[in-house]
Chain A
Amino acid sequence: MGRYITRRLIQAIPVLLGATLLIYAVVFALPGDPIEALAGDKRIDPHIVDVLRERYHLNDPFLVQYWHYLTGLFRGDFGVTFAGVPVGEVMAGKFQVTVNLAMTALVIEAVIGIGLGLYAALRHGRAQDTLILASTLVLISIPTLVTGFVLQLLLGVRLKQAGLDLFPVAGVTGDLRGYLLPGFVLAGTSIAYLARLTRASLAETLRADYVRTAIAKGLPRRRVVGRHALRNALIPLVTYLGADLGTLMGGAVITETIFNLPGMGQQLFTSVYLREQPVVVGTVTFLVLVYILANLVVDLLYAVLDPRIRYG
């Protein structure tokens, strides 16, 4: 187990290096000068420019700059913004918002997606099954951009006008209630995919020999489905959910924009405009790390769900 984790982490290093190098190269190629962007409309003392350029290694060639960044990263230092704030500090606050949003989405996705899929699989081939299949197809097709605005209008505003203030429309509120609507919007497509996956996976396990045995033993249906079929059908679903965590966190920009949530996507967006290399690279590196770790956790969960899988 320990050796497996070590091997996986070592395998992740080239991915992490490649991804940061790519992102760093793209940010390096961004038009405009960061010092000029910092100064805005004001004229800036050339001497100060020189000092700043020296301090942030802006005069060095690309690979040297990258090397400086990378060595800092291994010390846990994401660098500082041009305003002098550590990037780690800038990201921490934004990170909280994005994590809240992504986790809300993940929970909504798991509950509704698996629930719908389970129901469809148990009603295989009947009207309810067809209805669920058709609605998931529609749900997959509607972009976040559309569901976001439509639900904001219907559930956030019209419902409030009708006297039911259930879902805050924008911004961060004290409690998690403000994340419900954006979380649902973010989860939209994934709910549909997960429902379809659950349906297919469960339909397959329901045909397995051990399920037939369980029925023949006279076990109650609830136990057959819950204990014997569902647990085995869970494996592909866990893979999907784990991989989706990274997608949800990285794909939240549009949802964050619609619902005005100050998360990592929003941060990245402004940082690209301000050409703050450390923040941009730091944010993406962080998301790449989340992706890699989520996938590792999923692989380890396999062993828990399916005792046949063992890691040496």
Chain B
Amino acid sequence: MGDSPAPATGHARHARRPSRFRSSGSSRGSGRRGRAQEIRPASLWSDAWQDLRGRPLFVGAAFIIIVFLAMSAFPRLFTSVNPFDAATCQLSDARQGVSGLHWFGTDNLGCDVYARVVYGARNSVVIGVTTTVATALFGGLLGLVAGFTGGAVDTLFSRITEIFFAIPSVLGALLILSVFRTGNVWTVVLALAVLAWPMTFRIARAAVITAKSQDYVLAAVGLGASAPRIMFRHILPNAVAPVIVVATINLGTFVAAEAGLSFLGVGLNSPDISWGLMIADARRRFLEAPGPLLFPALFLSLTVLAFIMLGDAVRDALDPKLR
């Protein structure tokens, strides 16, 4: 954004409510519907959506993500075994290979790996989505305010983010999580979000500063619009795209980070099911029985891959310069 296409699309968009841009052309005169739709200038979002639908990368990523979302919402659709029920684990069945009964074999305690992997999806998805939303809102809003206000506020927040950037993220998360005696989903979200918001802040701030000097913002200022109105109605809709792109790509990294932290023993704990925990548990007997480690690892990689692919596709669609 920032070059000639951005102001044009931006203008078309913030002239009406963003949520109605798809049908805004046809809502007034139903008689001239066909023609109105032809002339209606495509907004950045509908344009991006048209573009995305045709991309195999996007379709593939969306398919994998939908499967994982379904898995985390309704794990019982995928398996009839309840891994939280200890009776389903038979120690005498420990470390069995892949079979018709146990699709992914069994782990060290004789529990069904497939059922555990399916139930593990929920924690990964919840942590990934919550952290993403939290960082996008917090970092994005701070970035909006800092970029728009400029001056001392901007300098202060930018200095603060520099401090966070200098702290190595895995070690920082490890430290924060050590403060809590037991880890759960929310402590992991907190640790990840505390360390990840500066990145969203920087991107939002840069986008806001670019949008601030556009003609339509100057016009709004000239017309006497109030600061909040300029910020939320004129700048925000035009600066949100880069934040969304980074958020999507980061979602995958958060999922991977959760697994890493749980693997190190500071993230989730048993009896919670997490792919990272499963990998940590399977580690000791890994060389004789790699299955219990490789299957959660495969699911973990697929989830991360799907979100990174989605982010890639969304970026290509939203950035007109890359077309």
Contact = CB atoms under 8 A, between A and B. Distances in A.
Contacts, number: 122
A79 interface: no
* Residue in A31, A138, A247, A254 with the greatest tally of chain B CB atoms within 10 Å: A254
B94 interface: no
Among B176, B178, B256, B300, chain A packs the most CB atoms within 10 A around the CB of: B178
Interface string B278-315: 01000100110010011001101100110011001000
A237 to B, nearest CB: 20
Indicate the size class of the contact surface on chain B.
Answer: 35 or more
A146 B297 contact: yes
A273 B179 CA distance: 10
Contacts of B301: 141-143, 146
Given A254-B170, A284-B168, A153 B287 contact: yes
Given A26-B179, A272-B174, A138 B167 contact: no
A13 to B, nearest CB: 11
Contact of B297 (A19, A149, A273): A149
Interface in A272-294: 272-273, 280, 283-284, 287-288, 291-292
Interface in B125-161: 159-160
Contact of A254 (B163, B263, B290, B308): B263
B163 A22 contact: yes
B166 A143 contact: no
How big is chain A's contact interface, by range?
35 or more
A248 to B, nearest CB: 10
A88 interface: no
A257 B159 CA distance: 33
A140 interface: yes
Contact of B168 (A29, A150, A246, A273): A246
Given A137-B309, A284-B175, A247 B163 contact: no
B201 to A, nearest CB: 15
A284 B287 CA distance: 34
B174 A149 contact: no
A137 B175 CA distance: 30
Interface in A145-164: 145-146, 149-150, 153, 157
Interface in B182-212: none
A249 B279 contact: no
A141 B171 contact: no
Contact of B312 (A137, A150, A268, A280): A137
B159 A14 contact: yes
A31 B171 CA distance: 18
A137 B300 contact: no
A37 interface: no
Contacts of A27: 175
Nearest to B303: A141
Nearest to B305: A141
Contacts of A249: 168
7 tightest A-B contacts by CB? A250-B168, A141-B305, A18-B163, A143-B256, A146-B297, A141-B304, A288-B166
16 contacts: A15-B162, A15-B163, A19-B163, A22-B163, A138-B305, A142-B301, A143-B300, A144-B260, A145-B256, A145-B259, A150-B294, A251-B168, A253-B170, A280-B175, A284-B167, A291-B166
Interface of A: 14-16, 18-19, 22-23, 26-27, 29-31, 137-138, 140-146, 149-150, 153, 157, 246-247, 249-251, 253-254, 257, 265, 268-269, 272-273, 280, 283-284, 287-288, 291-292
Interface of B: 159-160, 162-163, 165-172, 174-176, 178-179, 181, 252, 256, 259-260, 263-264, 276, 279, 283, 286-287, 290, 293-294, 297-298, 300-301, 304-305, 308-309, 312
Given A254-B170, A284-B172, 13 more contacts: A15-B163, A15-B166, A18-B163, A19-B166, A27-B175, A141-B308, A142-B304, A144-B260, A145-B276, A145-B279, A246-B168, A250-B167, A284-B175
